[in-house]
Amino acid sequence: MTAPYDHPLNLTMQAILTYGSWALTLVFLVLALRMSAKERTPFYVLIILAAMVGAFAEPLYDEGLMLLFYVPGIWTHFSAFNIPQPLWTHSGYVVLYASAAIYICQQINAGTLTKKALYGWALIELAMSCTFEMIGINGGAYEYWGPHVFRIFNYPLVIGVLEAAQVICFSVAAAELRKRVSGPMGLLGLFILFPCTFYLANFGAGSFVIIALHLDQPSTALVTIATLLSLGSAVLLIRAAASFLPDEAAVAAKTRATSNVGATANG
C-alpha cells in the first residue's frame, strides 16, 4: 500500500478549509484576548498561539498515523517526510484544539469544572473532531490512507478519541501550569507543553495502532487489536486527567461555603 500522492485535491474544499478556519481563528483570538484582559493574564492568548506554533510538528503526526494531504494544487508553506502541509493546519489546530482548551481552562481556574463535566468536554471534542475531519476527508482535501479499521464515513474513530484525550490532557496540564508559575514568562511553557501533551496522547496512547499500521506485513486482525488497545489507553488518559479535578459534591460544597460567606458579609 502506497500513499495516494496523485489523488486530486478538491480546490473548493481547500478554499473553504483555509478561509473558514482562519476566520474562526480570528474569532477565537478575539475571545481569548477578552478573556485574558478580564483576568489580567496572557494565558488564553498564549494557548491560541501555542496551538498555532505546535502545528509545525504536524508532519510527525501525519507520518505516524498515515495522513496525507492531497498534493496536486495544494497551498503549502513547507513539506516534511514528503508530506506538503496546507496553510490551514495552523488555523485548524486553533479551531479543533485550542478553542475547547481555553474554555476548559477557564472553568478549571474558576473551580467550577468537575470530573463529570470534563468527560462531557471529551465528548464535545470528539464530536468536533469527527465533524471537522469528516468534512475535510469526504470533501476531498486529505485522507487517512493506511489500513485503519473502525472507520465512520472514511474517518478512523481512533483518531477522534486520541484527539479528545490530547485536548483534555493539554487543558488540565495548562491549568496546572498556570497555578504554579509566577508571572507571564512562566506561561511561555505552554509552547512546549502543547507538543508534549499532543504526542503524549497521539504517540503514547496511539503507539499500539501506529506500530500495527506500519508493520511490514500488516493484518486487519492486528490493526483491530492495536486500535482497541489505543482506544482504551486514550480513555485511561482522560480518566487520569479527570483525577486532578474535584467531583460534583466537592464543587457544590465549595459553592455553598462561598455563598454563606457572602451572606454573612452582607449581613
- Separation of alpha carbons 160 and 151, rounded Å: 11
Rounded Cα distance, 96 and 88, in Å: 12
User: Sorting pLDDT into bands at 50, 70 and 90, what band is 263?
Assistant: low
Cα–Cα dist 155/25, whole Å: 24
Helix (H, G, I), strand (E, B) or coil at 135: helix
- Angle among Cα 234, 155, 86 to the nearest 5 degrees reads 100
Instruction: Give residue 158's identity as a one-letter amino acid code.
Output: V
Is it the case that residue 53 has pLDDT exceeding 60?
yes
Residue type, 255: T
- Tell me, what's the pLDDT at 251? 72
Residue 100 near residue 124 (C-beta atoms within 8 A): yes
pLDDT digits (tens, 9 = 90+) for 100-141: 999 999 999 999 999 999 999 999 999 999 999 999 999 999
Report residue 163 as a C-alpha cell.
484527539
- Note the pLDDT of residue 113: 97
Instruction: Answer yes or no: are the C-beta atoms of 164 and 238 closer than 8 Å.
Output: yes
Count the neighbouring beta carbons within 10 Å of the beta carbon of residue 217.
5
User: What are the tens digits of pLDDT across the range 172-209?
Assistant: 999 999 999 988 999 999 999 999 999 999 999 999 99
Q: What is the mean pLDDT of residues 219-248?
A: 96
- pLDDT for the residue numbered 182: 86
Please give the single-letter amino acid code of residue 199: Y
Sequence letter at residue 122? A
Which position has the grid cell 489546530? 93
Per-chain mean pLDDT for the chain: 94
